[in-house]
Structure 1
Amino acid sequence: MNPLLDLLQPYPFEKLRKLFAGVEPAPVPPIRLSIGEPQHETPALIHDALREAFGGLSVYPTTAGIDALRQTIASWAMRRYKLPSLDWATQVLPVNGSREALFSFAQAVVDASRPAPLVVSPNPFYQIYEGAALLAGARPVFLNQTPENGFGFDLDALSAEEWSRVQLFYVCSPGNPTGRVLSLDEWRQLFELSDRYGFVIASDECYSEIYFDEAQPPLGALEAAHQLGRHGFERLVMFSSLSKRSNVPGLRSGFVAGDARILAGFLKYRTYHGCAMSTTVQAASIAVWNDEQHVVANRTMYREKFDRLVPLLSQVLDVSRPDAAFYLWARTPGDDAEFARKLLAATNVTVLPGQYLAREAHGRNPGQGFVRIALVAGIDECFTAAQRIVEYLK
């Protein structure tokens, strides 16, 4: 077996199962707010589109995807990020959800023959970034995102020598778990570092369509690049998905877009990787990317949850509305893992300890003392969970 597999840590939910072993939950209906799996109803238009496209199951799909899907994605991205152009033929590729692409991208980008390659990740982070770096033969390095730095990147935490070995930099904006959105100035700093040291930026934007002000959607990487005059998106690739936007995590449909040169290499890798998207899923995806009505309705439900829950939970927890996404990053009274375990026993509400989403770096684990609360259940169920938490802590 590949010895690099031994470097992989258990996934957060494996740790959670061990933490909860032997706990007898309170005798009330369980409410699971630990995993970021959308539980809103899948729009009917997706069911209809899949039924109409069943004939696509009889053919092998191409890795590059059908032209119509790439054209649809390019048009959506141009509308969403106010781009004057995005070449569907060279700057867009469909992928089987952002998770698959975020992992495989590192395998295509990292040159393990160069001395001691590094991959930078936010901390806390989506664990796929770490696993992708390790299995690509690189060492993951973490930039702590803490209340003290406004949950931003402490770019001074790495030395010039370390920056010279960075080959890939994972960004998550809106962030998991904090919901923070990078500003234009922060993007400018990252682009300047990328120009200086030559690393590629992978911008994970799977939460980009969950936000609270319809007039102010979160700034995206391609949008920031365009505003800063980087019209070819040099060394930049963004990752998006229908999972959160349209409540279809099981569809496994997303896309990557950006630097045409990098995507040409990524396409070559994917041809051998065997990860072509079913033509049936591609046809359904066209219908979904072309419809915004269901996305607005989805945001409305999340907005109502935050409007109702934040004032309630803030009575007992240090918590506030994020910039975007569907998480609350709540400071806990005492150890976060012990808090989650006792909360399950007392309320049958499941939350995720923050320390499971982070690694110790620069002298601390920035997830310790926090829990991630995923407001993915229905409005009434989320409100019931919040009431139980308040009663428990009071």
Structure 2
Amino acid sequence: MNPLLDKLHPYPFERLRALTQDIKPNPAYRAISLGIGEPKHPAPQLVEDALVGSLKTLAAYPATAGEPKLREAIVGWLERRYGLRLDAASQVLPVNGSREALFALAQTVIDPSQPGATVVCPNPFYQIYEGAALLAGAQTAFANSDPARNFAADWSQIDEATWSRTQLLYCCSPGNPTGAVMPLGEWETLFALSDQHGFVIASDECYSEIYFREEPPLSGLEAAAKLGRHDFRNLIAFTSLSKRSNVPGMRSGFVAGDAALIKKFLLYRTYHGSAMNPMVQAASIAAWNDEAHVIANREQYRAKFAQVTPVLAAELDVALPDASFYLWAAVPGGDDIAFAQQLLAQYNVTVLPGSLLAREAHGVNPGAGRIRLALVAEKAECLEAARRIAEFTRSFKQSLL
């Protein structure tokens, strides 16, 4: 067996199940889960129609590089969304959801023969980053989020010696779990570090289309273009239809950026057997070419967050994020696990303790004392959950006196 498998940590949801397996929730309340970030809004009819209408495409093997029409649809969306014009043949590649691609990129770019090969991650973080690094034979280093700066990752925590060993950096904007969006100045800092030390930047942008400010979130590709980096050197952006179009079961997204990296990534994927299903390609073309369903989806989230956030903010330290579909709330007393366990027991609401989404780094676990609330269900269910959480929090505060 691959000994590197023993380095993997249990997934946050596995740890949560272990922490709650002996809890019997109050039967007076029906179960509501805000724990998993799985979109619950209906999938667009145009995507379903495209899937059904492409059944006869199953008789042929798909190309790993995807159909030209799909790549053209992707570059068309990038131009409309960010004002960019990429080459469909060399700078974009369809992938089976951002998750598998985020993992696979590390296997492509990491050279484990180099002493101390390192992957830098934000903290808290999407656990795929860590698993990808460890199974590629690298070690991890973490930049903690800073609540005083809207939970931006504090990249200055990474010292010069660590940067010199870094081969890959994962960043996530809008962030999971904080919803923070990276500004242009932060991108400029990361690009300068990449130029100095030669590492690749993997920009996870799967929440880019769910936002609450007037200005849409900045893409890493867009930031590079604004800074004159039109070759996107050492930059790969990851985007998914899962959240944008409510089709997580379809497993469809793309990577885009540095043509030299895309070429090597395509080579890896050819051997990895990761060509996209032809039906999924047809449905993806329909999704990328339509923006009306995305606008409607975003408005549903905006209306939901506008009603739910004040209910929770009356009792918890929580505020509307820049983007994404999570609320990142501080809990009274600072024990996020005890809060989540007692909330489940008394009110049958599941939330994810923030400490399970982070690692201890620089002397602290930056997720400790917070909970992640995924507002993915319909508005009425999210509001009911918020009212229960607020009621529970009032009593929880009393128990701490």
Same fold (TM over 0.5): yes
Structure 1 ranges of 4+ moved more than 3 A? none
Q: Secondary structure at the match of 2:86?
A: coil
In percent, how many aligned pairs have the same letter? Answer: 62
Shift of 1:161: 1.5
Q: Could you say which residue in structure 2 is the equivalent of 1:70? A: 71
Distance 2:53 2:88 in 1: 25
Matched residue, 1:379: 379
- In the other structure, the counterpart of 2:32 is 31
Match of 2:220 in 1: 221
Question: Which residue number corresponds to residue 320 of structure 2?
Answer: 321
Structure 1 equivalent of residue 45 of structure 2: 44
Task: Give the TM-score taking structure 1 as reference length.
Answer: 0.98
Give, in whole Å, the separation in 1 of the partners of 2:294 and 2:157: 38
Q: Give ranges in structure 1 of 5+ residues lacking alignment.
A: none
Q: How does 1:284-363 map onto structure 2 within 5 Å? A: 284-334=283-333, 335-363=335-363
Mean Cα deviation higher: 100-109 or 150-159: 150-159
TM-superposed deviation, 1:146: 2.6
Checking the alignment, whether the CA contact within 8 Å between 2:26 and 2:347 is kept in structure 1 is yes
Q: Which residue of 1 aligns with 2:398?
A: none
- Corresponding letter in the other structure for 1:82: G
CA–CA separation in structure 2 for the residues paired with 1:40 and 1:58: 32
The equivalent residue for 2:397 is none
Q: Within 2, Cα distance between the matches of 1:36 and 1:76?
A: 24
| Per-residue Cα deviation, 1:71-95 (whole angstroms, up to 9, x for no partner) | 1001101111111x20010000000
- Is it true that 1:203 corresponds to 2:209 in the alignment? no
Structure 1 residue aligned with 2:263? 264
**Partner of 1:245 in structure 2?**
244
Distance 2:203 2:52 in 1: 33
Q: Which moved more, 1:140-149 or 1:333-342?
A: 140-149
Pairwise CA RMSD? 0.8
Identify the residue that residue 278 of structure 1 maps to in structure 2: 277
Report the CA distance between 1:205 and its aligned residue.
0.3
Alpha-carbon deviations, 1:269-313, whole Å to 9, x = none? 000010100111101100011111111110011001110011111
Task: In structure 1, give the amino acid aligned to 2:30.
Answer: P
CA drift of 1:29 comes to 1.3
Distance 1:311 1:154 in 2: 29
- Which residue type is aligned with residue 167 of structure 1? Q
Q: Does the residue aligned with 1:145 lie in a helix, a strand or coil?
A: strand
Match for 1:40: what amino acid? H
Alpha-carbon distance, 1:154 to partner = 1.9
Q: Structure 2 counterpart of 1:392, which letter?
A: F
- List runs of 5+ in structure 2 lacking aligned partners: 395-401
Offset at residue 389 of structure 1 (A): 0.9
Secondary structure of residue in 2 paired with 1:359:
coil
Supply the AA of the counterpart residue of 1:157.
Q
Distance in 2, Cα, partners of 1:337 & 1:392: 15
Aligned partner of 1:86 in structure 2 is 86
State the partner residue of 2:188: 188
| Deviation for aligned residue 1:150 | 3.2
Distance 1:156 1:41 in 2: 42
1:166 partner letter: T
Contact 2:142–2:158, Cα closer than 8 Å, also in 1: no
Deviation (angstroms), 1:149:
4.1
3-state DSSP of counterpart to 2:266: helix
Q: Deviation at 1:155?
A: 2.2
- SS class of match (2:121): strand
DSSP 3-state at the match of 1:130: helix
The amino acid that maps onto 1:65 is G
Q: How does 1:96-107 map to 2 (within 5 A)?
A: 96-107=96-107
Q: 3-state SS of the aligned residue for 1:121?
A: strand
1:59 aligns with 2:56: no
State the AA in 2 paired with 1:244.
K
- For residues 250 and 233 of structure 2, the distance between their equivalents in structure 1, rounded to whole angstroms, comes to 30
Specify the SS of the correspondent of 2:152: coil
Distance of 2:181 and 2:140 partners within structure 1: 22
* C-alpha distance in 2 between matches for 1:185 and 1:8: 34
Taking the aligned partners of 1:311 and 1:150, their CA distance within structure 2 comes to 18
TM-score normalized with structure 2 length: 0.97
Aligned to 2:369: 369
CA distance in 2, matches of 1:158, 1:125: 16
The 5 Å alignment of 1:13-28 reads 13-27=13-27, 28=29
